[in-house]
Amino acid sequence: MNKEFFLKVGVIDEEFINRRRELEDVSALVRMGQSCVFIAPRRYGKTSLMLKVAERVKEDFFIAYVDVNVCTSVRDLGEHILNAVYSAVGIKGFVQKAKDRIGELLRSMRELKVKVGELELEVGLELLQEKEDIAFLRKVIDLPQELARKSGKRLLVIYDEFSEVYTLNKKIPDIVRSSVQMHKDCVYMFAGSQESMMRRFFTSPKGPFYRFAKVFVLDFLDEEDVRKYIREKVRSAGMSPDKDAEEEVLKITRGHPYYLKKLLQVIFLTCDRFTSECVRESLERLLEEEKHYFETLLYHIKEKKYRGEVVRIIAMGENPYEVLKGTLSSQQVLQVLKDLELEGIVRRRKRGVYELTDPVLGIYLGR
Ligand X SMILES: Nc1ncnc2c1ncn2[C@@H]1O[C@H](COP(=O)(O)OP(=O)(O)O)[C@@H](O)[C@H]1O
- Residue 155 is inside which H or E element, if any? strand 154-160
Contact 117, 140 (CB under 8 A): no
Among 47, 83, 87, 179, binds ligand X (CB under 6 A): 47
Distance between CA 125 and CA 127 in Å, rounded?
A: 5
Among 1, 12, 16, 297, binds ligand X (CB under 6 A): 16
Site membership for Mg ion, residue 357 (CB under 5 A): no
Among 12, 25, 42, 215, binds ligand X (CB under 6 A): 42
Distance between CA 137 and CA 120 in Å, rounded?
A: 17
Residue nearest to ligand X (CB): 45
Give the number of other CB atoms < 10 A from CB of residue 358.
26
Among 6, 29, 30, 47, binds Mg ion (CB under 5 A): 47
> In terms of Cα–Cα distance, which of 203, 197, 263, 206 is closest to 233?
263
Of 10-18, 179-187, 264-272, 346-354, the window that binds ligand X (rule: CB under 6 A) is 10-18
Q: What are phi and psi of 347, to 5 degrees?
A: -140, 155
For ligand X, the binding residues in 242-271 under the rule CB under 6 A are: 257-258, 261
We find the least distance from the C-beta atom of residue 100 to ligand X, in angstroms, to be 32
Give the number of other CB atoms < 10 A from CB of residue 7.
11
In sequence order, what DSSP letters do the residues of 43-68 get, joined into one string? TSSHHHHHHHHHHHHTTTEEEEEEEG
Site membership for ligand X, residue 88 (CB under 6 A): no
Of 40-48, 172-180, 254-262, 292-300, the window that binds Mg ion (rule: CB under 5 A) is 40-48
Strand-pair partners of 65: 158
Of 14-22, 269-277, 308-316, 356-364, the window that binds ligand X (rule: CB under 6 A) is 14-22
We find the least distance from the C-beta atom of residue 125 to ligand X, in angstroms, to be 33
Q: Which is nearer to ligand X, 41 or 78 (CB)?
A: 41
Q: Give me the helices (H) in the chain, please.
A: 3-9, 20-31, 46-57, 74-88, 94-100, 102-109, 118-129, 133-151, 165-168, 172-180, 195-202, 223-236, 243-253, 257-270, 276-301, 307-315, 320-323, 330-342, 359-366
Site membership for ligand X, residue 44 (CB under 6 A): yes
CB neighbour list of residue 335: distance below 8 Å, 6 or more residues apart = none
Dihedral sign, Cα of residue 264, residue 265, residue 268, residue 271: negative
Among 40, 57, 197, 286, binds ligand X (CB under 6 A): 40
> In terms of Cα–Cα distance, which of 187, 166, 144 is closest to 30?
187
> Which of ligand X, Mg ion, none does residue 10 bind to, with CB < 5 to 8 Å depending on kind?
ligand X
We find the least distance from the C-beta atom of residue 7 to Mg ion, in angstroms, to be 15
Half-sphere exposure of 108 (CA within 13 A, CB side): 16
- Residue 215 is inside which H or E element, if any? strand 214-217
> Which of ligand X, Mg ion, none does residue 216 bind to, with CB < 5 to 8 Å depending on kind?
none
Site membership for Mg ion, residue 48 (CB under 5 A): no
> In terms of Cα–Cα distance, which of 215, 187, 216 is closest to 31?
187
We find the least distance from the C-beta atom of residue 229 to ligand X, in angstroms, to be 8
Query: What number of chain residues touch ligand X (CB under 6 A)?
Result: 17
> Which of ligand X, Mg ion, none does residue 19 bind to, with CB < 5 to 8 Å depending on kind?
ligand X
Among 35, 48, 163, 194, binds ligand X (CB under 6 A): 48
> Which of ligand X, Mg ion, none does residue 48 bind to, with CB < 5 to 8 Å depending on kind?
ligand X
Of 42-50, 163-171, 252-260, 296-304, the window that binds Mg ion (rule: CB under 5 A) is 42-50
Name the residues that contact ligand X, by CB under 6 A: 10-11, 16-19, 40, 42-48, 257-258, 261
Residues that bind Mg ion (CB under 5 A): 47
